[in-house]
Amino acid sequence: MPEYLSDSQAKETILEIGRRMYAKNFVAANDGNISCRVGEDSIWATPTRVSKGFMDQETLINLRLDGTVVSKGSLNLSSEIKMHLRIYNENPQVRGVAHAHPPACTSFAVAGLGLDQAIYPEALVNLSVVPCVHYETPGSQGVADSVAPYCNSHSAVLLANHGALSWGKSPMEAFFRLESMEHYAMILLYTGGLIGQAKALSYDQVRELINIRQKLGISGGCIPVCAEQPANLQDSFAGYGTIEEARNKNAAPCCRKLTDLDVERIADAVVKKLQK
């Protein structure tokens, strides 16, 4: 079982994650929440109505697994603590939970799309598949219930029309998974929306990554959408296919080694530009 952080370690870690969330534009205004389990029946969590980038230890709330508040400052517990408590109760290995509204992740959540394409090895190793769970009113028990089926098999979910939720063996691992989700979502947005194509990894390539994942001690997840055959085994160069094809088609000078004459021409062009 993962070790528990001390109360002071947990509180400082929560504050640091809050600052990082705010700095990375994962939250706006008073959005988001963070929690850390520090004992069999003890959790530290962020309150409602506070910016996660400007908290201090006095604002944090200590509570039990059943939701009973043990100690707090002037602010109340967030209604979204229900999904945190459900994760801790469903998966005893979890020591930290993070929820935020990163723009790319939230865009996928609004569209009702999970992060499930085998195009990026790091995302597959760190996250595997991130499903998008159905919509429930934020702060309701319905959100906690919608997350429950994934608490042991996955490490993160998107909440439809809401945001992103991740968990791990420490609060910082939960935050890093939130970062990985947003990075993954951005790559999917760029390849799908701007570049217009993405070459999926094949089943064999994904199998190798799953082996790496298991060796790193990362469990859970499932197989993403894969290609039957690999489509990424050749170098691609300047839109001409392979570098050999580019050279055969007399493509731009960058397809061959620079000669001394090339260097002189480039230098002359630079000088003339500077003299204008």
Direct distance between the N- and C-terminal alpha carbons of the chain, in angstroms, rounded to an integer: 69
pLDDT of residue 193: 74
Q: Return the structure tokens found at 244.
A: 């050999």
DSSP string, 170-186: SHHHHHHHHHHHHHHHH
Return the amino acid letter for 81. I
Q: Return the structure tokens found at 196.
A: 């217009």
SS3 253: helix
pLDDT of residue 160: 97
pLDDT of residue 228: 83
pLDDT of residue 226: 83
Decide: residue 152, CB within 10 A, 0-12 exposed, 13-18 middle, 19+ buried: middle
pLDDT of residue 249: 59
Alpha carbon of 34 to those of 48, 52, 94, 265: distances in Å? 11, 9, 13, 59
Sorted by where each begins, the domain ranges of the chain are 7-215, 243-275
Q: Are 213 and 221 in contact (CB under 8 A)?
A: yes
Considering the segment(s) 7-215 as one domain, its CATH architecture is 3-Layer(aba) Sandwich (3.40)
Task: Report the alpha-carbon distance of residue 79 to residue 61 in Å, rounded.
Answer: 13
**In order along the chain (276 residues), what is the average pLDDT of each group of 10 residues?**
95 98 97 97 97 96 98 95 98 98 97 92 90 96 97 96 97 97 94 80 87 83 81 66 60 57 75 73
